[in-house]
Structure 1
Amino acid sequence: MTTAGNAATRCRLLRHWEQATALLKGDGMKIGKILVPVNGGPADVQAIQLACSVAKPSKGLVHAIFVIEVQRTLPLDADIQTEVEKGERVLDAAEQVAGAIGYEIESEILQAREIGPAVVDEAIERAVDVIIIGVKYEKRFGEFSLDRGASYVLKNAPCRVWVCREPMAKEAR
């Protein structure tokens, strides 16, 4: 891409950011409760940072969840210690990201058969205003593709859903 192309892209992004910020500051969008599903991927950091940045001005609540997907051959409340330990590490990392920008978040580990429905159910139960979901850049059959969980959340969530996608690898550009 040329330098002029890069500058035009930056201007468009800045304009969209300014519009989004104006919406957040105005009466158009009140955000008091934010749900952030995390899985230990690189996009988690951006999702948590965005959630805290949006929640901070109104002292909103940010709730991070780690969903353990329990196989159908096991009872739903099975003790899957390795997954619980992973969830604790991931949520600790999310709390550290929030702490680094001066915000405190709540976190919880859930067990469910599938991630997407668990996130939507949690959003309904907590009456959240927005779900901020971090996704990795993935291609399937040459096209960008969302995983099943993120796709389910986008289709079924009763609230706004913001997707925070990690950057494309240099090789894919």
Structure 2
Amino acid sequence: MLYNTLLIPSDGTAASEAVIRFICSIQKTILAKVYVVYVVEVPRSLPLNECPPTLLSIAREVLEKAENIALEYQAEIEAQIIYARTAEDSILSTAENLNCDIIAIAQSNQKLKLFANAALNIYQRAKCSVWLLNVK
């Protein structure tokens, strides 16, 4: 099967970084475009365009780390910050908008967990393949 576009949602954990490392290590083999996204969940009390500076700072740090990992593997990624109310809906819509073939999600210690246990819901609702990568 040919994979053209992969989406990696990252929450900045070691498990997410391990998934980024894995995908970057195989990117040249599978010849896929790789997107790494960090979802900033903006509180409902604020407009979406008024992200708290601390959340934005965290997002930038996470994506900078992803870009550094890509450099280590001489891989190419596109890193994006997404502002949303809920992470899972924004991950699904981003995957659909980018015509992703795969969403690669980190699992930690065999628990389906990412962004408040959204991984299972993403797996069930995604229109593309979902890789749930267990990282111990």
- Report the TM-score when normalising by structure 2: 0.90
Deviation for aligned residue 1:162:
0.5
SS in 1 for 2:59: helix
Residue 77 of structure 1 aligns with an amino acid whose one-letter code is N
Give CA-to-partner distance per residue, 1:93-116, whole Å, 9 cap, x none: 111111111112100000111110
Pick the structure with greater CA Rg.
1
Q: 1:46 aligns with which of 7, 12, 18?
A: 18
- Residue 63 of structure 2: aligned partner: 91
> Which residues of structure 1 form unaligned runs of 5+?
1-28, 139-143, 168-173
Structure 1 residues 4-83: aligned runs within 5 Å:
29-83=1-55
- In terms of fraction of residues, the more helix-rich structure is 1
Higher relative contact order (CA 8 A, sep 6+): 2
Aligned residues: 134
- Residue 7 of structure 1: aligned partner: none
- In terms of fraction of residues, the more strand-rich structure is 2
What's the Cα RMSD here?
1.6
- Residue 150 of structure 1: aligned partner: 119
Give CA-to-partner distance per residue, 1:40-66, whole Å, 9 cap, x none: 101122211222234312432110000
> Which residues of structure 2 form unaligned runs of 5+?
none
Identity of aligned residues (%): 28
Deviation for aligned residue 1:134:
1.2
